[in-house]
Amino acid sequence: MEILSEHREDAALFTTRFALMGGGASVQFVDDRGQDHAKRLARAVEREARRIELKFSRYRESSVVSEINRQAGRTPVAVDDETEFLVGAALDLARLTGGCFDPTVGVLRRAWNFSGGHVPSPEEIEAVLPLVDAGAVSLRDGTVFLRHARMEIDLGGVGKEYAADRAAELLRADGVRAAVVSFAGDVRTIGFRGDGRPWKIGVLDPRDRQRCRFAVRAPGDVGVATSGNYERGFWNDGVHYHHILDARTGWPSLGLASATVVAPTAFRAGQLSTASFLLGPEAGLALLEQTPGVEGALITEDGAVLATEGMRFLSDLPGGVWASWH
């Protein structure tokens, strides 16, 4: 764990960074209680984030998600309120998108290999697509049951943003009044910057990840999440294949390069950025415009920016800037 501090009048900006969920995590917070207190608080935030990763990662045999998947087609698995909440949220997202998103889409990795650059045949997709079925996920009486053998549930579409909110809640409960939590690029802010102005969160240009396409204003306690086609993918015969799959077809979603949403929480922002990305330019923008309390900006595959009426963002930021203390 790395703690860096930068003194600003009567307080200091502390930064801690650690690996999380296959990416990087960064937490910046302003505090005036000294290095020792900051280190204890940073450790508590990291422990909470890792607790969520260990509990819900499909890649860990000891996780509740792995146990649910092992029991697919056999028996319901008793779960706690936290698990029930996340599974319910994933199923809600499936309904919101008309099935474009589905928490059981992970079985398609049996056909796709994004690290190896394998493009599956239509027959390979068709062989596993019947196992992608949110309607076959039973959530009742404190249990989760996948009705068909070989089905898998994956909470990756909601878990990271939930962890960012939990980290922010820990900071708030400890008395922190200014912070930015960034888990693999999805952000939750607390309060305002040291000068009293909103935090600025940079959004990468899908065509050039060395620069920001624009930055959004994060006024007070909000979440900012981006879904993009550039995080995992490969080119094959001039075609770009990315990992955000339309669960109805088993193939990468078309139309958008990224979708960024500002919402009251990172969890809500993550849900809506995923939903709008999968729905595409017109339906995705309509969803954001019709949802109270959120704003968003979509970048199409040809580079156009579509934004909700109330979206506030800055353009032409230098590359690499994602949050500003100054």
Residue-wise DSSP of 249-313: TTEE--SEEEEEEEESSHHHHHHHHHHHHHH-HHHHHHHHHHSTT-EEEEEETTS-EEE-TT--E
**Cα dihedral 229→298→306→264 (10° resolution):** 180
- At residue 61, the pLDDT reads 93
Record the tokens describing residue 85, joined without a space.
Answer: 């909440």
Q: CB within 8 A of 239, min separation 6: which ones? A: none
CATH number of 192-326: 3.10.520.10
CA-based nearest residue to 199, from 174, 224, 175, 176: 224
Task: Look at residue 45 and give its three-state secondary structure.
Answer: helix
Find tokens 């280190």 and name the residue: 39
pLDDT digits (tens, 9 = 90+) for 148-157: 999 999 997 6
Measured CA distances, 170 to 41, 42, 147, 214, 237 (Å):
8, 10, 37, 29, 48
pLDDT band, very low/low/confident/very high, at 175 (cuts 50, 70, 90)? very high
- What is residue 111's three-state secondary structure? coil
pLDDT for the residue numbered 126: 94
- Bridge partner list, 29: 14, 179
In the chain, what are the domain boundaries?
1-58+157-184, 64-154, 192-326
| Average pLDDT value for residue range 265-277 | 95
pLDDT tens digits for range 82-123:
999 999 999 999 999 999 999 999 899 888 888 778 889 999
pLDDT at 291: 95
Written in H, E and C, the secondary structure of 223-265 is EEEEEECCCCEEEECCEEEECCEECCCCEECCCEEEEEEEECC
Distance CA 284, CA 290 (A): 10
- Per-residue pLDDT of 278-290, as tens digits, reads 999 999 999 999 9
pLDDT of residue 6: 46
Distance CA 71, CA 147 (A): 9
Residue 194 has pLDDT above 50, yes or no: yes
The structure tokens listed for 233 are: 């993918």
- Burial classification of residue 173, based on how many CB atoms lie within 10 Å of its CB (0-12 exposed, 13-18 middle, 19 or more buried): exposed
pLDDT tens-digit series, residues 12-39: 889 999 988 878 899 999 988 999 999 9
How many whole angstroms separate alpha carbon 312 and alpha carbon 96?
Answer: 25
**pLDDT, position 180:** 93
Confidence of residue 201 (pLDDT cuts 50, 70, 90): confident
Greater model confidence, 107 or 158: 107
User: Highest mean pLDDT: which of 61-70, 197-206, 305-314?
Assistant: 61-70
Domain 64-154 is in which class?
Answer: mainly alpha
The b/e string for 52-63 (b: 16+ C-beta within 10 A; e otherwise) is bbebbbbeeeeb
